[in-house]
Amino acid sequence: MARLIKTEKEVEGRYSEQWVVVEEDALEQWPEGPLRTVGRPATRVDGLARARGEARYTQDIQLPGMLHAAVLRSPHARARVKQIDLTPASELAGVRGAVGPGELDVLTDEPNYEGEAVAAVVADTADHARAALEEISIEWEVLEPLLDVDQALARESFLSDPKLYERGDIERGFAEADVVVEAEYRTQSVLHNALETHQTICEWEGETVNVYTSTQWLWGVRDEVAAAFDLPKDKVRVICRFMGGGFGAKGSAGDYTMIAAELARRTGRPVHCRLDRREENVNSGNRNPTIQKLRLGARSDGILTALSADYVCLLGWDGWLPPTAGPVQMLYACDNVRTVEYGVRLNSPPMDAFRAPGFVEGTFGLECALDELAAKLDLDPLELRRRNHADHDPLDERPFSGKQLMECYRRAEPHWERRHEVHARADGPWKHGVGIATQLWYGGGGPPSYAWVRLAGDGTATVLTAMQDIGTGTRTAMAQIAAEELGLPVERVTVELGDTAHGPYAVVSGGSSTTPSMGPAVRAAAGDVARQIREIAAQRFDVEERVLSLAEGKVINADGGSWLLEEITGLLEDGQILGKGARGPNPAGMRVMTYGIQVAEVAVDVETGEVVVERIYAVHDIGRVINPLGAESQIEGGIIQAIGHSLSEQRLLDPRSGKVLTRTLDAYKLPTIADVPEIVSELVDVPDAHLTNLGSKGLGEPPIVPTAAAIANAIRDATGADVRSLPITREEMLGALHEADERRRVPERVGAAPA
Residue 614 CB-density burial (10 A; 0-12 exposed, 13-18 middle, 19+ buried)? middle
- CA atoms lying within 13 Å on the CB side of residue 511: 23
Q: How far is the CB of 274 from ligand MOS (least distance, A)?
A: 21
Q: How far is the CB of 567 from ligand MOS (least distance, A)?
A: 45
The answer for 39, left when phi > 0, alpha when psi is -120 to 50, beta otherwise, is left
C-alpha span between 278 and 195 (Å, rounded): 13
Using alpha carbons only, what angle is made at residue 498 by residues 471 and 22, rounded to the nearest 5 degrees?
105
Q: How far is the CB of 325 from ligand MOS (least distance, A)?
A: 17
Q: How far is the CB of 248 from ligand MOS (least distance, A)?
A: 3
Closest to ligand MOS by CB, 353 vs 590, is 353
Residues of this chain that bind ligand MOS (CB under 6 A): 12, 216, 246, 248, 251, 353-355, 357, 510-511
Cβ-closest residue to ligand MOS? 248
Closest to ligand MOS by CB, 190 vs 451, is 190
C-alpha span between 573 and 672 (Å, rounded): 53
Q: Are strands 137-142 and 117-123 parallel, antiparallel or unpaired?
A: unpaired
Q: What 3 state SS string does 708-754 have?
A: HHHHHHHHHHHHCCCCCECCCCHHHHHHHHHHHHHHHHCHHHCCCCC
Q: How far is the CB of 316 from ligand MOS (least distance, A)?
A: 16
Q: Burial code of 381-414, b = ≥16 C-beta within 10 A, e = fewer?
A: bbebbebbebeebbeeeeebbbbbbeebbebbee
Closest to ligand MOS by CB, 42 vs 704, is 704
**730-745 vs 707-719: helix crossing angle, rounded to 10:** 40
Q: Catalytic: 701?
A: yes
Element (H, E) at 661: none
Q: How far is the CB of 326 from ligand MOS (least distance, A)?
A: 13
C-alpha span between 353 and 360 (Å, rounded): 11
Among 701, 731, 732, 742, the one annotated catalytic = 701
DSSP output for 372-385: HHHHHHT--HHHHH
Closest to ligand MOS by CB, 128 vs 198, is 198
User: What is the distance between the terminal CA atoms of the chain, rounded to a whole angstrom?
Assistant: 61
Closest to ligand MOS by CB, 510 vs 579, is 510
Q: How far is the CB of 672 from ligand MOS (least distance, A)?
A: 23
Closest to ligand MOS by CB, 357 vs 727, is 357
The answer for 410, left when phi > 0, alpha when psi is -120 to 50, beta otherwise, is alpha
- Of residues 454, 476, 499, the one with CA closest to residue 56: 499
Closest to ligand MOS by CB, 248 vs 720, is 248
Residue type present at position 492: R
Q: Would you name the residues annotated as active-site residues?
A: 701
